[in-house]
């Protein structure tokens, strides 16, 4: 995966930089648009945001079109989606872009993870493609990467990255996950993501790690300000 180079309107926060997120502290978010037409993702993220008193609306609910993802990185595509939703709704907007990156395949499928599943979203075929490309390679290392993009209508955008490393197995195991989950075993674990209960997966997933950075930079400072007011 290529490295995303922030423009002057972007801020990309790693853990040490979260304490520098002073711009974010000046913002108070009451309504947040999720730049997705996926009801399941809206429900999942809505539950995560509930403790922070944020009203969640989806791009689909607001009738916003889905922009073409022309970026060359997860960060680029996430920003494209969040900016389009923020400007279309005139509200802060959150999006995510994520995928599987396989070391022996030079990071593929990466940002094209969903496309490997084809128009029918057949991830069984996508997993078979990964396994076929790996062949007899002894290197089965891979990682899931997620970038959350939070944008405002004026174009300001913050990016939060989460990653989890692991190993690919074959044949796939488990039926509780989705995407490439049945062939991915997180580092230090024996079960695939698809063999784990949702709560256990969420405690370590790439998306939850990115979300934790978002919460630490945006919502926890807002709570502290309210407590000190």
Catalytic residues: 97
206 near 164, Cβ under 8 Å?
A: yes
Q: How many angstroms separate the Cα of 160 from the Cα of each of 9, 12, 62, 66, 84?
A: 15, 6, 25, 21, 18
State the virtual CA torsion across 63, 58, 82, 52 in degrees, nearest 10: 150
Q: What is the DSSP string of 41-103?
A: HHHHHHHHHGGGT-EEEETTTTTPPPPP---SSHHHHHHHHHHHHHHHHTS-EEEEEEEEEEG
208, two tokens: 């939850």
């Amino acid at each position: 995966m290529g490295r995303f180079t922030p423009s002057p309107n972007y801020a990309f926060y790693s853990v040490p930089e979260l304490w520098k997120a002073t711009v974010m502290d000046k913002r108070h978010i009451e309504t947040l648009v999720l730049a997705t037409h996926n009801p399941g993702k809206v429900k999942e993220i809505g539950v995560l945001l509930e403790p922070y008193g944020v009203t969640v609306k989806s791009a689909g609910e607001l009738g916003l079109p889905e922009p073409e993802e022309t970026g060359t990185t997860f960060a680029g595509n996430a920003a494209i989606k969040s900016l389009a939703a923020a400007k279309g709704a005139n509200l802060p907007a959150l999006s995510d872009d994520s995928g599987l990156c396989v070391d022996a395949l030079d990071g593929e499928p990466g940002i094209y993870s969903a496309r490997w599943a084809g128009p029918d979203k057949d991830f069984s075929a996508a997993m078979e493609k990964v396994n076929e490309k790996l062949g007899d390679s002894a290197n089965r290392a891979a990682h899931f990467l997620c970038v959350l993009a939070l944008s405002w209508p004026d174009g300001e955008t913050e990016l939060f990255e989460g990653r989890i490393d692991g190993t690919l197995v074959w044949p796939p195991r488990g039926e509780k996950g989705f995407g490439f989950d049945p062939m991915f075993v997180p580092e230090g674990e024996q079960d695939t993501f698809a063999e784990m209960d949702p709560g256990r997966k969420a405690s370590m997933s790439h998306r939850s790690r990115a979300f934790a950075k978002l919460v630490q930079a945006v919502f926890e400072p807002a709570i502290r300000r309210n407590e000190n007011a």
